Every structure is written in C-alpha cells, then in structure tokens.
C-alpha cells in the first residue's frame, strides 16, 4: 500500500523534492467500551491495517489532498487560510481538523503540503479509520514541520481534540491513543482519567483474536453516541450531589449501588451502571490475562456485551446474532461487540482449531437471519505510526 500511495503521489503531483510516506494503524478494543469519556479504563490494541500517506511540503500556503479509496472525488484543494470545516470537504475534514488543531496549539505550520492517502480498514467497520487518519496526519505534520516537541500522546490528544471540536463527534481518547501508542503484540491498558498506561503482552497460546465485520452501520450513530455521553455526564452530576467523585470511573460497584438512587431517571441510571461496571470489568479482565486466566477474560468479554446490549443499548440485532452464534460455538472463550456500536464489528477469542467452524457457524446464522455475509479478520497486533521513507 505504501508503494501505491507513493506511485499515485508522483502521478498526481510530480516526483521532484522530498516525498515521504507514512502509516498509522486502526484499532480493536478487547474490553472497556464507552468507558473512556467516563474516566474509566480501556484495553485496545493497534492493528496492522490502517491508513497510509505520501506527502511533501510546499512553498506556498496551498494544501492538496487525494484519497485512492475515494478517487472519484478527485483532488481537493484548500489553503492554510481557509481551514473551516465544510460538507463538501468530505473526508479531508479529518486532516484539515488536525492542521487546524496544530495551529491552535501554537505549533508552527507555515506552508501548505500535498498529501495522498489510502487505507485498508474496511469503511464503516468501527475499526477507527478516522482516528488512524488523524494520527497519521499529526505524525506527518510533526515530521514535515520538524515539531519534535510533539509526543505521540500529544498526537492522540490533538486527534481527539480535532474530532471533538472540528468534526463534531464527541469521542473519547481511546481510538487515537491506541493508534498513536500501539505496540506490536501488546494491548494498551489505559486509564483515561490520567492517561497513565501500561502495555500488556497478548500471548494467546493456541488462541486467536478474530474480528467479525457485520458490514452494517446504522445511521444516527454519532448523535446516539453524543446522547449516551451526555446521559453519563448528567448522571455524574447527580451522583456528585451525594459523593465526592470526578468521574464515573472513580466508583466501585458497591459505591455505585449505594448512591444509585441519586440518579433520577431509570434509563440514565442504566447508562451509568454500564460505565461503572464496565470499568471494573476491564480492570479485572487485564488482571485475569496477566494471571494467564483466559477463561475469566472471556467471561468478562461476554458480560461486557450483555451490558452494552441491555444497559447501554448500543448493540443492534445484526450484531447480537453474530455474538449469540459465537457464544454457541465450541472453542470460543468470549465474544462481544467492539467500538462505538450500532453495527461495525465483534471481537472474539477463539481456539486455533475452532476458527474454521466459528466462521462457518457465524456465516450460516447471519445468512439465515439477515441474508448478509460477515467478514472475518484474524488479528495481528501492530505498532503505532511509522515513516517509511
Ligand atoms: C468510539 C469512540 C471511542 C470510544 C468507543 C466506545 O470508538 O471514538 O472514544 O468511546 O466508541 O468505547
């Protein structure tokens, strides 16, 4: 892919000068869903699929973008003096937002650039193609403009900031952090309140992590996401009238039950219940993995799905069919929806010799119920962003 992005760059923008190529990964979250913006823990890992770019600095203030995946849209041209988001800017609102956020932080971007991208994250799969594009853009800007003071954690927070404030999606820090801080064969145990993190080696002797793409993405995802987030914020305010906490992630299960009646609305109490219990499940799951207790890890994944389905209500019937089918298979340690929800992917831990039967069972169940064919990816955990040349 790095070659195709480079070749396309030369074809469109010429071969002269200092052309550089970059990559930033997508992510899959193993457990800890909708906990990041609630001050809880997450446990994602970077994938070996992601977004690639070829780029070169310019002498003027023009910026040109081209995406091989959306080639019909052609070259989109803008300038450093015209960085407002717009509908017609389409996907380029992501890199534009990152440029805007860099400048907003006082980082010196004093010329434009040309950038061609491509990627192998399936569209709408919930494997964070937008976060990988944001981190990729930040990584590229740091390199092109020699902004060495910017750390990889900054790349994550700048990416999130631009997504929240430029693209209007109130996401947490998980996706950008997983992309910017990925480490081969490790998942990242991140405390989203403090951004303290620890790598946990994923050594699954005899097991595979399998991502199943439902290939459905229900509309209104972003508005439902923002709604869940504000319900949790409101529940937190109510809880703060009876206990001294700064986020839902501060609460143990026992404390939540003690103070729960402060939350007036029953649906809101369910949302907060998920956030508190999911955070505790994540902490327990990482411990189980460290203890080599994969069975407990899998049970916590299953409980995560039930809570996302029933309390947080971010699953959907198509995903539930895939998860139910996974649970019915021999050799499946755990299976759950992953990512923001309302479609996208599930993540499952499956015994090596059961992977084929797992695929068959899910394909059959999904076909029967929805006449759709899922896609499967056996996950390899990769590193964070890189420059090739
Ligand atoms: C999306 C968001 C993340 C996180 C997940 C749910 O992927 O971008 O910040 O909230 O949903 O865990």
Architecture in CATH for domain 2-30+45-201: 2-Layer Sandwich (3.30)
Query: 155, 196, 161: which is closest to 179 by C-alpha?
Result: 155
CA 227–ligand 1 middle distance (angstroms): 13
Ligand 1 close to Cβ of residue 312 (< 6 A): no
Ligand 1 close to Cβ of residue 163 (< 6 A): no
**pLDDT score at 221:** 65
**pLDDT score at 220:** 65
CA 251–ligand 1 middle distance (angstroms): 20
**pLDDT score at 123:** 85
- Interacting residues of 310 by C-beta distance below 8 A, sequence separation 6+: 270
**pLDDT score at 389:** 75
Ligand 1 close to Cβ of residue 172 (< 6 A): yes
pLDDT in tens, 247-261: 999 999 999 999 999
Cα 73 to Cα 70, 93, 96, 163: the distances in Å are 6, 14, 16, 22
Cα 57 to Cα 65, 75, 365: the distances in Å are 12, 16, 51
Tokens 């899922």 locate to 374
Cα(380)–Cα(367) distance, integer angstroms: 27
Per-residue pLDDT of the chain (389 residues; tens, 9 = 90+): 999 999 999 999 999 999 999 999 999 999 999 999 999 999 999 999 999 999 999 999 999 999 999 999 999 999 999 999 999 999 999 999 999 999 999 999 999 999 999 999 998 899 999 999 999 999 999 999 999 999 999 999 999 999 999 999 999 999 999 999 999 999 999 999 999 999 999 989 999 999 999 999 887 667 899 999 999 999 999 999 999 999 999 999 999 999 999 999 999 999 999 999 999 999 999 999 999 999 999 999 999 999 999 999 999 999 999 999 999 999 999 999 999 999 999 999 999 999 999 999 999 999 999 999 999 999 999 999 999 97
- Interacting residues of 214 by C-beta distance below 8 A, sequence separation 6+: 318, 319, 322, 343, 344, 345, 346, 366, 372, 374
Query: 387, 201, 190, 172: which is closest to 289 by C-alpha?
Result: 201
**Closest Cα to atom 1 of ligand 1:** 340
Cα(351)–Cα(119) distance, integer angstroms: 29
CA 34–ligand 1 middle distance (angstroms): 6
pLDDT in tens, 6-51: 999 999 999 999 999 999 999 999 999 999 999 999 999 999 999 9
**pLDDT score at 223:** 84
Cα(320)–Cα(192) distance, integer angstroms: 28
User: Residues of 125-159 as b/e, b for ≥16 C-beta within 10 angstroms?
Assistant: bbbbbbbbbbbbbbbbbbbbbebeebebebbbbbb
* Residue 175 bears catalytic tag: yes
Q: What angle do CA 216, 363, 352 make, to 5 degrees?
A: 110
Q: State what percent of residues in the chain have pLDDT above 70.
A: 99
Ligand 1 close to Cβ of residue 342 (< 6 A): no
CA 372–ligand 1 middle distance (angstroms): 25
In degrees and rounded to multiples of 5, residue 246 shows phi and psi of -105, -20
Ligand 1 close to Cβ of residue 189 (< 6 A): no
The residue from 114, 154, 175, 311 that is catalytic is 175
Q: What is the pTM of this model?
A: 0.97
CB 361 within 8 A of CB 335: no
């Amino acid at each position: 892919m790095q070659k195709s992005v480079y070749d396309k760059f030369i074809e469109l923008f010429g071969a002269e000068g200092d052309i550089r190529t970059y990559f930033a990964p997508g992510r899959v979250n193993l457990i800890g869903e909708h906990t990041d913006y609630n001050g809880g823990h997450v446990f994602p890992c970077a994938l070996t699929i992601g977004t690639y770019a070829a780029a070169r600095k310019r002498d003027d203030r023009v910026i040109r973008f081209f995406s091989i995946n959306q080639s019909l849209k052609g070259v989109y041209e803008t300038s450093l003096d015209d960085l407002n988001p717009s509908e017609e800017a389409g996907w380029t609102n992501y890199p534009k937002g990152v440029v805007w956020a860099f400048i907003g932080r006082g980082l010196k971007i004093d010329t434009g650039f040309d950038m061609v991208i491509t990627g192998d994250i399936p569209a709408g799969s919930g494997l964070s193609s937008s976060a990988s594009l944001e981190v990729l853009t930040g990584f590229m800007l740091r390199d092109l403009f020699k902004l060495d003071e910017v750390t990889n954690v900054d790349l994550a927070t700048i990416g999130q900031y631009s997504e929240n404030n430029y693209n209007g999606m109130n996401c947490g820090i998980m996706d950008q952090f997983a992309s910017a801080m990925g480490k081969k064969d490790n998942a990242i145990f991140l405390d989203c309140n403090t951004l303290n993190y620890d790598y946990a080696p994923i050594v699954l002797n005899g097991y595979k992590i399998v991502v199943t793409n439902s290939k459905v993405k229900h509309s209104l995802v972003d508005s439902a996401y923002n709604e869940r987030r504000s319900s949790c914020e409101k529940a937190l305010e109510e809880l703060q009238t009876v206990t001294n906490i700064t986020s839902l992630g501060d609460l143990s299960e026992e404390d939540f039950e003690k103070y729960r009646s402060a939350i007036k609305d029953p649906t809101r109490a369910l949302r907060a219940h998920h956030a508190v219990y999911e955070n505790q499940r994540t902490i327990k799951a990482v411990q189980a993995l460290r203890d080599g207790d994969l069975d407990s890890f899998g049970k916590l994944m299953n409980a995560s799905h039930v809570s996302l389905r029933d309390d947080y209500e971010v699953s959907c019937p198509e995903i539930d069919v895939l998860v139910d089918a996974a649970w019915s298979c021999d050799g499946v340690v755990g299976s759950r929806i992953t990512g923001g929800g309302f479609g996208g992917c599930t993540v499952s831990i499956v015994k090596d010799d059961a992977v084929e039967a797992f695929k068959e069972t899910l394909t059959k169940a999904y076909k029967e119920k929805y006449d759709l064919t899922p896609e499967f990816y056996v996950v390899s955990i990769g590193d964070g962003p890189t420059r090739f040349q």
